[in-house]
Structure 1
Amino acid sequence: MDPLTTSLVKSSFKSIGATPGGENAFAQSFYAILFAARPEIRQYFPAAMDLQRDRLMRAVGYVVERLDSPETVLPLLAQLGRDHRKYDISDDHYEAVGEALVTALAGLAGPELWTDETERAWRSAVELIVTTMTDAAHGEPGPPTWVGTVLNHRRVLDDLAIVRLQLDQPMPYAPGQYVSVQIHSRPKMWRYFSFATPPNSDRIVEFHVRRVSGGWVSPAIIGETAVGDTWLLGAPLGGVGVWQNPERSQLMIAEGTGIAPLRAQLMNMPRLDGNPPTHLFYGGTYPYDHYDLDVLWALSRTSPWLTVVPVAENRDNPWWFPGISTVPAGMHERVTGQIGRVVAEYADWADHDIQVVGAPSMIRTTKYRLMAAGIDSRDIHHDPLY
């Protein structure tokens, strides 16, 4: 896309988002227009649309912001196209989505902002998005979905479970990626979980699932999942870990179940030829949030290139927690504090490839502190949608 087209798309989207309730109004308008024009499309979505609307805005915002960086945005669009095959949608559905997107934007922008030139720019952007997604979907030889059978369900905390499944066929994914999951008791409610293990010949995958307050899917996974249950999985997504330069030192920062995609990479690294020095900071509110620390200690004992530093905002577990979390002799003691601050003050991380995985607020805070400490933002990587 030419610079003028890109500039018009960015400026108009930013103007709409800056209005009171702009982003939420856009998402609501888009889906209302889409479902009115093509009622049959509604069947692909859950009854509760809050998460869907949030994800739409993150995706559109990310694409718009990076339209002038095709090397960044086109791979993401291709992944989304392959993932959307799970819905069994057709090319004309994509066209309807594009038309609804333009109509919603025009309605919110108003005649002063939405000129003929702006509409042409947006139609060019929509054509790029639709073409990239459909081409990737048509060119993918693999299945639209995989079936995973639950082999083990281990509730490691009251609000957290580790689930292992065996896939019905091999799935090519990179350590660090994630996948959409649908469980039998929550149809049409796809949720995204990171692989906690690298690909293996047994087709066994592992997910770490923490209960979301008010959520529909995670409480069912934690409290109701049984051995033998089957899940549907979509195509792999995400680029965390994919850009690693084997010659640069690695800094990995995770909080809670954000450890899963970093753990998958660490488990895969011994298979590679040589490994750079790698520091992993594993954060949580309390020490018990370091539920996977034993596995990470075991990795560090056999991997001299790996240093594991657990960080907790509170030194001790709450009084009601029954377990005692200890650090093995010879290992680094836990550091107390907010993980972004701890990492930024711990060392000079210049010339490191940095990955940050966790809640959006944690990612923003950590990225800000690292940049304030002089780190180039281009060296700090996180997934834009998960």
Structure 2
Amino acid sequence: MDAQRLKDNFAHVAQHGDQVALFFYSDLFLRNPRLREMFPVGMSHQRDRLLSALGRIVSQVDNLPDLVPFVQQLGRDHRKFGVEALHYPEVGASLVATLRYFSGPSWSEQLAQDWTDAYNLLSKVMIEAAQEDAASRPSWWNAQIIAHERRRFDLAVMRVLPDRPFPYRPGQALSLEVPARLRMWRYYSMANAPRPDNTLDFHVRLIDGGPVSPVLVRSIAVGDWIKLGPPIGTMTLDERSERDILLIGGSTGLAPLKAILEQIAARPAPPRVHLFFGARYVDGLYDLDELQKRAAGTPWLTVIPAVSDHDPGPAAERGTLPDIVGRYGRWQEHDAYVCGSPGMTDATVDRLLQLGLSHDRIRTDKYADA
């Protein structure tokens, strides 16, 4: 298997954009009509996910230590869709057919064999991960809404109670499905560390045009039931480190940082923590009161609110999170955790690197990608 040949071929195919995923799913459903019911009615988001996952896999095809954990997670996560081992050859056939179609004259027997070998290896990893996961966990959890609070017209904080213990690490996320949007799973981070009562908190911001977030913000009610997929994500606390900690969250990117903060608070001797919480407007700082109350009784915690698009007066700093973080220090001796929109996250990571913080001490989670 020639990794560079795969990368070059995929770069050529990816130039066709959404047409690639559209062709793939059309081919898959024509060959296997029974598989259509496993997918949502609207497929645009699913097509985006396919291209994103393929792009990541191909970019790391020659870096198995980084690629294998991602592929294993895909295998575990696909259990909630009802994916079984018998489905993988069917998907592989449509994938190769799609690549052949968009490669045009550049397609060759060598490329066909490269892609077949790569897909067989990856599907083997996914199947084995799913089978191992099935021995200890369900494909999904049912959970009941037990509290729901609108903090703003487009933002809600809700608490759910799963029907069985839900093991996860602070900083992770899960996918959830609501009855009104079947098979449209969307990712949200837990906003609390694991509790004895097994409840989970979520911060949900309404995404314009999104199919699930409007239901969670405006329509769902206490007593309703949803489904939860398995936990995912690697933006988790480095418990071996004794360094001070920098938490940077934009909007509902605060959620996983709150979970990490609770984990830190449970330590016998917590390190110093600076938490930067940003929004475009003051009313976007939806959880600031609770954070400030926590900081008032916690000498090791400092909370710095930030507003980028409006004069916040004395309520917060004025500016973008990357700029304000830069004003407060250089942070070379800290561990940093950053969560928010892709643009905010990338800009913040760039600023931290400019300030001298090494890349291996920065953990991120672009919640908007979910």
Tell me how far apart the structure 2 counterparts of residues 277 and 139 of structure 1 sit (CA, whole Å).
39
- Structure 1 residue 79 and structure 2 residue 73: aligned? yes
Q: Check whether the contact 1:240–1:381 (CA below 8 A) recurs between aligned residues.
A: yes
Look up the SS of the partner of 2:181 in the other structure: coil
What residue number does 2:257 align with? 262
Q: CA deviation at 1:245?
A: 4.3
- Structure 1 residue 338 and structure 2 residue 312: aligned? no
Cα separation, partners in 2 of 1:261 and 1:44, compared to 1, 3 Å: same
Say which of 26, 37, 49 aligns to 1:32.
Answer: 26
- Structure 1 residue 362 and structure 2 residue 344: aligned? yes
Say which of 102, 105, 115 aligns to 1:108.
Answer: 102
What residue number does 2:332 align with? 350
Q: TM-score, normalised by structure 2?
A: 0.92
Say which of 175, 178, 190 aligns to 1:180.
Answer: 175
Look up the SS of the partner of 2:365 in the other structure: coil
Q: CA deviation at 1:315?
A: 4.0
- Structure 1 residue 383 and structure 2 residue 365: aligned? yes
Cα separation, partners in 2 of 1:56 and 1:351, compared to 1, 3 Å: farther
Q: How many residues align?
A: 366
Q: CA deviation at 1:369?
A: 3.1
Say which of 42, 56, 66 aligns to 1:48.
Answer: 42
- Structure 1 residue 226 and structure 2 residue 208: aligned? no
Q: Check whether the contact 1:244–1:353 (CA below 8 A) recurs between aligned residues.
A: no
1:269-307 Cα distance to aligned partner (Å, 9 max, x none): 122353333222111101111111122223323433322
Q: CA deviation at 1:94?
A: 1.9
What residue number does 2:6 align with? 9
Tell me how far apart the structure 2 counterparts of residues 244 and 102 of structure 1 sit (CA, whole Å).
43
What residue number does 1:129 align with? 122
Q: Over aligned residues, Cα RMSD in angstroms?
A: 2.1
Cα separation, partners in 2 of 1:383 and 1:124, compared to 1, 3 Å: farther
Look up the SS of the partner of 1:185 in the other structure: helix
1:184-218 Cα distance to aligned partner (Å, 9 max, x none): 22212111111011111211011111111122211
1:227-257 Cα distance to aligned partner (Å, 9 max, x none): 1100011111111115564223322211111
Tell me how far apart the structure 2 counterparts of residues 301 and 110 of structure 1 sit (CA, whole Å).
64
Q: Check whether the contact 2:311–2:318 (CA below 8 A) recurs between aligned residues.
A: no
Q: Which amino acid aligns with 2:245?
A: Q
Q: CA deviation at 1:65?
A: 1.8
288-297 or 72-81, which deviates more: 72-81
Tell me how far apart the structure 1 counterparts of residues 358 and 201 of structure 2 sit (CA, whole Å).
33
Look up the SS of the partner of 1:212 in the other structure: coil
Q: CA deviation at 1:313?
A: 0.5
99-108 or 187-196, which deviates more: 99-108
Tell me how far apart the structure 1 counterparts of residues 323 and 207 of structure 2 sit (CA, whole Å).
26
What residue number does 2:190 align with? 195
Tell me how far apart the structure 1 counterparts of residues 297 and 122 of structure 2 sit (CA, whole Å).
45
133-142 or 237-246, which deviates more: 237-246
- Structure 1 residue 148 and structure 2 residue 130: aligned? no
* Structure 1 consecutive aligned stretches of length 4 or more whose deviation exceeds 6 Å: none
Q: Which amino acid aligns with 1:217?
A: V
Unaligned runs of 5+ in 1: 318-324, 328-333
1:49-69 Cα distance to aligned partner (Å, 9 max, x none): 111112222222222222333
Percent identity, aligned pairs only? 36
Unaligned runs of 5+ in 2: none
Q: TM-score, normalised by structure 1?
A: 0.88
Cα separation, partners in 2 of 1:44 and 1:194, compared to 1, 3 Å: same
What residue number does 1:299 align with? 294
Q: Which amino acid aligns with 1:131?
A: K
Q: Check whether the contact 1:98–1:126 (CA below 8 A) recurs between aligned residues.
A: yes
